[in-house]
Amino acid sequence: ESVTSTVDATLVPRNVLIVYLSRTSNTRAIADIIHQHVGGKLVALELENPYPENYRATVEQVARENETGFLPPLKTKIDNIQQYDVVFVGFPTWGMQLPPPMKSFLRQYELKGKTVIPFNTNGGYGIGTTFQTVKELCPNSNVVDGFTMRGGSERDGQLLVIQGEKAKEAETDVVKWLREINVLK
């Protein structure tokens, strides 16, 4: 297996894409921090048919999609994916799995030969199988050690949590991680 934990330092300068899925903006807050420090192109994943506003209905729909392997069609189109060497992929934990829209993205776009860097927020139960699924869907990529932190908990009415003081703490942790994986000096 060709999985390593850091980014090859010889890759700089490089073309960076940051793709993220976010419903209540916690993962977006992390994507923004990465973007501020690394630059590149920042893209929010959008669906042809958005999930319901209702949390419970969304949980149920996601559970069905995970069961059947349904890949929701993306409204977002990435122009010329070949131009990127480094692709950050950000997502919340949904039902302890990688959210279906991120599965759609990784199935739709060929990331062979690229460095793929996952990041996650969750409601306190961790990454589940998300990072493992990224590796499985990117068998010919260098999938780097990801970043995770606790975000909100929509179930309990906690929406955007990574703001203000919490966003500053997150920035410190994100920069530390970016240095550890050789993305920043």
Ligand X SMILES: Cc1cc2nc3c(=O)[nH]c(=O)nc-3n(C[C@H](O)[C@H](O)[C@H](O)COP(=O)(O)O)c2cc1C
Contact (Cβ atoms closer than 8 angstroms) between residue 86 and residue 115: yes
Can you tell me which residue has the tokens 């703490």? 169
Q: For residues 156-185, which are near ligand X according to CB under 6 A?
A: none
Task: Using the minimum distance from each CB to ligand X, give the nearer residue, 91 or 114.
Answer: 91
Stretches 41-49, 68-76, 92-100, 131-139: which one binds ligand X (CB under 6 A)? Answer: 92-100
Rounded Cα gap, residues 114 and 82, in angstroms = 9
Rounded Cα gap, residues 106 and 138, in angstroms = 7
Q: Region of 93 please: left (phi>0), alpha (psi -120 to 50) or beta.
A: beta
Among 58, 76, 108, 182, binds ligand X (CB under 6 A): 58
CB atoms within 10 A of CB 117: 27
Contact (Cβ atoms closer than 8 angstroms) between residue 151 and residue 125: no
Task: Using the minimum distance from each CB to ligand X, give the nearer residue, 72 or 142.
Answer: 72
Using CB under 6 A as the binding rule, whether residue 153 contacts ligand X is answered as: yes
Among 16, 18, 19, 25, binds ligand X (CB under 6 A): 25
Tokens of 32: 């923004």
Q: Cα separations (Å) of 64 from 100, 146, 149?
A: 10, 27, 26
Stretches 4-12, 106-114, 118-126, 135-143: which one binds ligand X (CB under 6 A)? Answer: 118-126
Using CB under 6 A as the binding rule, whether residue 148 contacts ligand X is answered as: no
Task: Using the minimum distance from each CB to ligand X, give the nearer residue, 15 or 58.
Answer: 58
Task: Using the minimum distance from each CB to ligand X, give the nearer residue, 25 or 141.
Answer: 25
Return residues touching ligand X (CB under 6 A).
Answer: 22-28, 55, 58-59, 62, 92-96, 121-125, 151-154
